[in-house]
A and B are shown apart, each in its own frame.
Chain A
Amino acid sequence: MREELIISGRMNLNIDPVLHVWHWQIPLYLFLGGLAAGVLFFAALYFIKNESEKYSTAVKVAPIIAPFAIVIGLIALLLDLKHPLYFWQLYTTIRLESPMSWGAWVLMLIMPLSIIWVATYLKEVFPKIELQNGYFAKLFSFILKPVENNEVNWGWKFKWLSDFEILMIEYRKPLAWAILISSVILGVYTGILLSAFNARPLWNNAILGPLFLVSGLSTGAASIMWLSKSHEEQKLFSQIDILLITVELFFIIHLFMGFLAGPQVQIEAASLFWGGEFTIYFGLFVVVLGLIMPGIFEIMELKGYRVHRAIPAILIIFGGLLFRFVMVEAGQITRYLY
């Protein structure tokens, strides 16, 4: 038998008896970042392919989720910081070897890009805004031009804002490319961030980055499929989702193959999900309910059975959220020593 104990009575907060420095804020942010990345990726992709009228929800409506998701994610991150008043230090330097630094800068970049993208399409998505009714009028009167009746399309109050809008509409293609690239970085860095921590055997593998990217794209595609009103678009995103779910399942299989072929600490990390305390969370909620069942529902839908698309969409979204919760919780339990 071999027994290893700390006998001097160390009980550092959040370190002992089991490491638990990251709580709900981190998995929530990882999910919201992935969702925003997914929605923005498809928006930019279908714009670049000149199909923005055919798939108008993907290009014009769904990206509205992105700025809100990013802001809530950033608030969650700020809440997680233990030295929050110094958060600005993140932006005084860029450290290429730290994925957390990349993430800080990518978020700084993608936030204005996503807001501009959404703002240029606002007139098409919301052509009639009732400005004379008190509530909306007061809220937005600082930026919107008052109108006489609600038949006429609304406008921005300041001329420089209207000019900027016209400029951005002209430059939509470069904007789309910038969004395409930064959304992929946003989606993949959340996984690379976790995989860079070599002290946590569950996270320290190369496939986590692509896995989180695919999961994020899948939640984005599910949201687009749910929001869409065009049958053709729903069908396309359903097919895209089936493909992404299949890829994600393969990646999860590879993840576990990697663990079982790795060092002892990784075999122990894998056993948390295969008979250990996270078996039900992961096996039932993430894999079956979050991936396999929505995949089956979507295939059935494509074959003609009537399954309301909200069902697979909700399952995929919750599956993505729970996946991140499970990975962050379980990862902190895995360790090299003791």
Chain B
Amino acid sequence: MRYGMAIDTKKCVGCSDCVVACQTENNIEHGYARDWITETVNGIYPSMELEFRSERCNHCANTPCVRTCPTGASHIIEGGIVKVTHDECIGCGSCIQSCPYDARYTHSEGYVDKCTFCDHRVANGQDPACVSVCPTYCMYFGDLDDKNSEVSKIVATRKWKVLAPEAGTKPQIFYLT
């Protein structure tokens, strides 16, 4: 079981509903964001191209953050979801230094926090909050190991890219281009 996401950049309008939904669902402190929208503009007027991406922790298959954690607070649960055990985290910041996507941040209470793929919702068979509220339905979440899941079919049939593949992390969020 390997959870992952496919995000259709052709349909994303950059509305940031996913950002607000995540902050609401997970009671995130004011001033912090576990996911964000990146806008890429290419070209010179009038030949320009625009892309929006909703980014978050990629729950990589070759996680540098889990590897470098000295206490084991950063760990991987069923489905490849990367989580942090708050009481084991010492706040050293190694995982933050290891993440090429800047997905992690230090919570004001001292431990390190990040996107959890809403594992509390996933355990109940629901999608993460961001996926559920997207108004253009451009986000897909599911089991990449299951050939029949929507995500697997989309990743198999559409062109996609991942962020910073050269960092060697094997991210599991696929941006459909």
Query: A6 touching B105 by the CB < 8 A rule?
Result: no
Query: B31 touching A14 by the CB < 8 A rule?
Result: no
Closest 7 CB pairs of A and B: A82-B91, A83-B110, A83-B91, A199-B100, A100-B70, A12-B105, A101-B70
How far, in angstroms, from A13 to B16 measured CA to CA in the complex?
Answer: 20
How far, in angstroms, from A83 to B72 measured CA to CA in the complex?
Answer: 15
Query: B31 touching A13 by the CB < 8 A rule?
Result: yes
8 contacts between A and B (CB under 8 A): A10-B36, A19-B97, A83-B90, A84-B91, A93-B72, A97-B67, A104-B70, A197-B97
CB closest chain-A residue, reference B71: A89
Interface residues of A in 1-27 (CB under 8 A from B): 1-16, 19, 21-22
Query: B97 touching A21 by the CB < 8 A rule?
Result: yes
Binds A, one of B41-49, B142-150, B151-159: B41-49
B64 at the interface (CB under 8 A from A): yes
Given contacts A82-B111, A98-B67, 10 further A-B contacts (CB under 8 A): A1-B42, A4-B40, A6-B37, A12-B33, A15-B96, A84-B91, A86-B71, A89-B88, A100-B69, A263-B166
B98 at the interface (CB under 8 A from A): yes
Query: A82 touching B110 by the CB < 8 A rule?
Result: yes
Query: A8 touching B98 by the CB < 8 A rule?
Result: no
B99 → chain A, closest Cβ, in Å?
6
**B interface residue numbers (CB < 8 A to A):** 14, 16, 19, 31-33, 36-44, 64, 67-73, 87-94, 96-102, 104-106, 109-112, 163-164, 166-169
Query: B102 touching A197 by the CB < 8 A rule?
Result: no
B41 cross-chain contacts in A, Cβ below 8 A: 1-4
B166 → chain A, closest Cβ, in Å?
6
A186 → chain B, closest Cβ, in Å?
16
Q: Which of A19, A80, A338 contacts B38 (CB 8 A)?
A: A338
A52 cross-chain contacts in B, Cβ below 8 A: none
How far, in angstroms, from A14 to B64 measured CA to CA in the complex?
Answer: 20
Query: A100 touching B38 by the CB < 8 A rule?
Result: no
Q: Which of A3, A19, A87, A104 contacts B96 (CB 8 A)?
A: A19
A196 at the interface (CB under 8 A from B): yes
Query: B44 touching A1 by the CB < 8 A rule?
Result: yes
In this complex, which of A10, A22, A99 has the most chain B Cβ atoms within 10 angstroms of its Cβ? Answer: A10
Q: Which of B16, B31, B44, B104 contacts A11 (CB 8 A)?
A: B31
Query: A100 touching B91 by the CB < 8 A rule?
Result: no
Query: A4 touching B102 by the CB < 8 A rule?
Result: no
B19 cross-chain contacts in A, Cβ below 8 A: 8
Query: B40 touching A86 by the CB < 8 A rule?
Result: no
A10 cross-chain contacts in B, Cβ below 8 A: 33, 36
A336 at the interface (CB under 8 A from B): yes
Query: B93 touching A22 by the CB < 8 A rule?
Result: yes
A261 at the interface (CB under 8 A from B): no
CB closest chain-B residue, reference A104: B70
A104 cross-chain contacts in B, Cβ below 8 A: 70
A200 at the interface (CB under 8 A from B): yes
Query: A197 touching B167 by the CB < 8 A rule?
Result: no
A139 at the interface (CB under 8 A from B): no
How far, in angstroms, from A15 to B112 measured CA to CA in the complex?
Answer: 12
- Using known A-B contacts A89-B73, A198-B168, determine if residue A98 contacts B68 with beta carbons closer than 8 Å: yes
- Using known A-B contacts A84-B91, A93-B71, A99-B68, determine if residue A2 contacts B32 with beta carbons closer than 8 Å: no
Query: B106 touching A7 by the CB < 8 A rule?
Result: no
B91 → chain A, closest Cβ, in Å?
3
A1 cross-chain contacts in B, Cβ below 8 A: 41-44
Query: B88 touching A199 by the CB < 8 A rule?
Result: no
A89 cross-chain contacts in B, Cβ below 8 A: 71, 73, 87-90
- Using known A-B contacts A7-B37, A8-B33, A21-B97, determine if residue A14 contacts B105 with beta carbons closer than 8 Å: yes
CB closest chain-A residue, reference B108: A13
A257 at the interface (CB under 8 A from B): no
Query: B93 touching A197 by the CB < 8 A rule?
Result: no
Kindly supply a per-residue 1/0 record for chain A positions 73-90, scoring 1 wherever the CB is within 8 Å of any chain B CB and 0 otherwise: 000000011111111011
B6 → chain A, closest Cβ, in Å?
20
Q: Which of A8, A11, A332, A337 contacts B37 (CB 8 A)?
A: A8
Q: Which of A3, A100, A101, A335 contacts B102 (CB 8 A)?
A: A335
Query: B102 touching A90 by the CB < 8 A rule?
Result: no
Kindly supply a per-residue 1/0 record for chain A positions 81-121, scoring 1 wherever the CB is within 8 Å of any chain B CB and 0 otherwise: 11111110110110101111101100000000000000000
How far, in angstroms, from A198 to B63 measured CA to CA in the complex?
Answer: 10
CB closest chain-A residue, reference B14: A7
A330 → chain B, closest Cβ, in Å?
13
A261 → chain B, closest Cβ, in Å?
15
B27 → chain A, closest Cβ, in Å?
16
B39 cross-chain contacts in A, Cβ below 8 A: 3-7
